[in-house]
Amino acid sequence: MNVLVVGSGGREHALCWKLAQSKKLQNLYCAPGNPGIGSLAKCVDIRIDNIPGLIDFALNNDIGLTVIGPEIPLSMGIVDEFEKAGLKVFGPSREAALLESSKAFAKEFMRRYGIPTAAYEIFYDKNEALSYLMDKKFPVVIKADGLAAGKGVIIPKNYDEAKACLEEIMVSKVFGNAGNKVVIEEFLEGEEASYLVFVDGANIIPMASAQDHKRVFDNDLGPNTGGMGAYSPAPVLNKALENDTINNIILPVVAGMAQLGKKFKGVLYAGLMISSDGPKVVEFNCRFGDPETQVILPRLKSDLLDILIACADGKVDTITAVWDARPAACVVMASGGYPGKYANGKEIKGLEEAVSQKETMVFHAGTAEKNGAVVTNGGRVLGVTALGDNMRSAVDNAYGAVSKISFDGAHYRKDIAKRAFNR
């Protein structure tokens, strides 16, 4: 089978890396891809939002399955358009992807179906939001309603910070139209975990649990990023809490979306807060997480292509996924200044030495080729992932590989999986 992966980041590199291992694979393409992906797949210069161009490519190259990586094309309805063209595609429809593309939709959906989440209100007007906050306990969580590349969630510690935050989101439009309305939530205490499942519209296959590190600096300091690293499994999500998550969150979401006529197919990602009352949903994503994918897929022993086809065909109940018991850890190497301003074009050295290390993968997230060299081309540059016999050895292996890679201004957290060790 010929397969097309849409996207250009670390998540898509991990997807291509795993798909390339399938015995059913004939040709693998990625649009637009990156230099790391180029060693596994033929990169095609088509933007992720050029849906007609992607459809033409799939039709002209006998693509048997297209796998959508990022959230933007999903929110644009790429799955609907591919299906109209008679093409098999992995991912949710535009209506199903509202669980991620609209925080307000997700919160109202959870209220309707009794899915545990933080108390909230939705606001279209800055002054109404400020009035609401006058007598609220801080910190609170303020979320831009729409997609904001993982950066649209701010946690003000007092009223003045909240006022400045609302000004930025709703007036200055730092996140564009994503800030036309905001969700204000109570601040949940606890530890976060990421729980992803494959869904075929009715049935699920759970993936290995994971936890990512959103803050840019050690000890969870600094602004939120798209993710500075991850590890799998997440010890905070024990078997009892995992069952709680499946029965009280995942299955009700799948059933509720079907009841609303928005049948969900693809990856459902529940970002959880493990509170004293049990798991509560912080957010939903409608695709593989990044960087969680970089620690989950290396632990998958089964053929990923088989699972993705079963999801698209509504036959997940015929498939069983087998997972490696060994943990995995991923350290994100970022450009200096990220998530603020940063420079591109810095030459990356030591990649071959790093990947020569046993049980180690270096997934390219923001790279480009220039004069025969691999250079930085984004905020998050590389996801350095390693397996180990236990979490300590997985983390040590990942940092061992990181030590072999260098580029000007490289920044990474030194405390990946700290919470796992604390347990």
Q: Indicate whether 117 belongs to any domain.
A: no
Q: Indicate whether 131 belongs to any domain.
A: yes
Q: Indicate whether 164 belongs to any domain.
A: yes
Instruction: Measure the N-to-C terminal CA separation of the chain; round to a whole number of Å.
Output: 44
- Cα–Cα distances (Å) from 24 to 168, 226, 298, in that order, read 49, 33, 19
Closest C-alpha among 325, 324, 351, 347 to residue 335: 347
Please provide the DSSP assignment of 35-57 as one string: TTGGGTSEE----TT-HHHHHHH
Per-residue pLDDT of the chain (423 residues; tens, 9 = 90+): 999 999 999 999 999 999 999 999 999 999 999 999 999 999 999 999 999 999 999 999 999 999 999 999 999 999 999 999 999 999 999 999 999 999 999 999 999 999 999 999 999 999 999 999 998 899 999 998 888 776 788 899 999 999 999 998 998 898 988 889 999 999 998 999 999 999 999 999 999 999 999 999 999 999 888 899 999 999 999 999 999 999 999 999 999 999 999 999 999 999 999 998 899 999 999 999 999 999 999 999 999 999 999 999 999 999 999 999 999 999 999 999 999 999 999 999 999 999 999 999 999 999 999 999 999 999 999 999 999 999 999 999 999 999 999 999 999 999 999 999 987
Q: Indicate whether 96 belongs to any domain.
A: no
Edge-first strand listing for the sheet containing 153-154:
120-123, 182-186, 140-144, 153-154
The dihedral of CA 316, 95, 245, 285: what is its sign? positive
Q: Indicate whether 101 belongs to any domain.
A: no
CATH number of the CATH domain containing 84: 3.40.50.20
Going by C-beta distance under 8 Å and a sequence separation of 6 or more, which residues neighbour residue 38? none
Report DSSP state, residue 250: I
Domain extent for 209 = 191-318
| Cβ atoms within 10 Å, residue 128 | 11
Q: Indicate whether 359 belongs to any domain.
A: yes
In the listed set 260, 289, 318, which residue is the last one of a domain according to the structure?
318
Q: Indicate whether 105 belongs to any domain.
A: no
Joined together, the tokens standing for residue 380 give 């998050």
Hey, what amino acid is at 88? K
Joined together, the tokens standing for residue 346 give 């810095």
Strands 153-154 and 140-144: antiparallel
Closest C-alpha among 299, 394, 331, 318 to residue 18: 299
Q: Indicate whether 132 belongs to any domain.
A: yes
233 and 266 together in one domain: yes
Domain count within the chain? 4
Look at the block and give the residue holding tokens 């994971």: 210
Hey, what amino acid is at 61? N
